[in-house]
Amino acid sequence: MTNNPSFASTSLPRHLVRGVVGFGALIAAVALIPVLGLGSLLLAPVGLLALRGCPTCWAIGLLETISMSRLRRSCVDGRCQLTVAGHAHVEQPGHSD
């Protein structure tokens, strides 16, 4: 178990595939009850496994995955700052944060 509380995936396409599989299986589990009976509920664990057990956490992870490619957090000497990827934070003389 890692110490990182992030729900983000390593890539946006991978995260979206997990969402399609997860939500698709959960929806199919309920929608197919009239056709397949209660056996269709066997799809629910597949959906939860794809979503890593928590649909809300998946949604939070989607936002984190999107922002990961746009924002960078760096901490030096106990001072952290958030910058846009590809842009360096330039501190102006005479100004302190």
Residues in CB range of 56: below 8 A, 6 or more apart: none
Q: Which pTM was predicted?
A: 0.65
SS3 label, residue 76: strand
- Provide the pLDDT for residue 87: 53
pLDDT tens for the chain, residues 1 to 97: 445 567 878 788 999 999 999 999 999 999 999 999 999 999 999 999 999 888 999 999 898 888 776 666 677 787 877 677 655 544 444 445 4
Provide the 10 A C-beta neighbour count for residue 3: 4
Residues 45-82 as b/e (b if ≥16 CB within 10 A, e otherwise) read: ebbbebbeeeeeebeebbeebeebeeebeeeeeeeeee
